[in-house]
Amino acid sequence: MKYRTLGRTGLRVSVIGLGTMVHAGHFGPMKDSESLSAIDAALELGVNFIDTSDAYGAGYSESLLGKALRGRRDKVILATKGGNVMAGPNRGKRNFAPDYIDGVLHESLERLQTDYVDLYQLHNPTVDVIEHGEVWGVLERRKQEGKIRHYGVSINTMEEGIAAVKTGRSDTIQVEYNLLTQEAAEKIFPLAQEANVGIIARVPLRRGVLTGKMTQADESRFQGEDVRARSFKGEAFAKELAKAEQLRFLVHGPAKTLGQAAIAFCIAHPAVSVTIAGARNDKQMRENAAAGDVTIPNEDLARVADLWRRGFAA
C-alpha cells in the first residue's frame, strides 16, 4: 500500500481508503458479517483511512465500525461527519448550529467507542456556513481538547469547495471526483494544492457504474432506501452506462477491471491524498486495494480528459 500526506494535517494516509456508507444498507441490504470482513481485509492490506458519518444508517455505520475497531483503534485514521439530521421531526434537513454539531460530535464518539476522531467533517455545509458559520469555533475548541485532531468539509458543489479553501478554516475537502465527474480537478484542486488543503476523493466508482459490472437490468433491484433508486433510472441510467463502456480501454496491463482503473484514476491526480471507495465484503476490498498499485499511462489520462470535456460525445 502506498501512503500520502493529507495536506496540512500531516496525517499519512493510505491512497486507498474505505467508505462505509454501504455498510448501513444505503446500497441494498447488508450483512454485518460481510461489512466486518471488509473492514478486517482493509486493515490487513494496509488501508488506514476509514470514512464514515452519523448520517449513514442514522449512526448504524459508526456503531458497526466502533465494534470492528475495538482494540485496533490505533491502526486507523478515522474520519466522520455531522450536519445531516437523520432522525426525528427534522429528518432530511441539515443543521450546522454550534450546539447541534457539538452534540452529534459527542454522539459519534460514543458510537465509534473512541475518545477522538482524526478528522471531523461538516457534512455538506452551504457556502454561507463555510464562510460565516459559528460552528467553526466549536470545532476549534474540541480540537484544543483533543476530541478531534483536524476538521474539514464534505461538499456537493464547486462553489462550496472554493469557499472552503479561501476561508482557510478547512484542513481537508471531501469531494466527488471520478472518471465521469472531473470538475473538481479544474476548479478546486489547484487552489487546494496551493493552500496545502488535503483532498479526499469520494464516489470513485460512481455508485457502481464504474465497476463495469452493471447493466440496465440492474435498475429493477434499486428499491426503497437504496440511494440509486432516485437517479439510476431509464434514460439517465442508460447514459451513465454508455459512458462507462467508452472507458473500457483503461482495462489493460495491471488494471484488471474497470473498477480498478477508476480508482487508480482518482489517485493519479497529485492533489488527491486518498480515495474512499465502498466495499461490501473482503473480496471487493481486496480488488479496490489492488488499484493502489495501478498506474494509468499518461496517454490514457489524456484520452479520459478529452472524453470528459466532450461530454463523452461520439
Active-site residue numbers?
Answer: 56
- C-alpha cell of 154? 464534505
| C-alpha–C-alpha distance, residues 27 and 114, integer Å | 27
Tell me how far CA of residue 206 lies from CA of 94, 182, 226, 240, 307, in angstroms: 24, 12, 14, 9, 16
| C-alpha–C-alpha distance, residues 295 and 301, integer Å | 10
Return the closest-CA partner of residue 97 out of 138, 131, 127.
138
Query: Which residue, chain included where needed, has cell 488527491?
Result: 272
Tell me how far CA of residue 15 lies from CA of 41, 73, 196, 255, in angstroms: 15, 19, 17, 16
Give per-residue burial for 9-31: e unless 16+ CB within 10 Å, then b: bebebbbbbbbbbbbbbbbbebe
Strands 148-154 and 172-176: parallel
How many CB atoms are located within 10 Å of the residue 92 CB?
A: 7
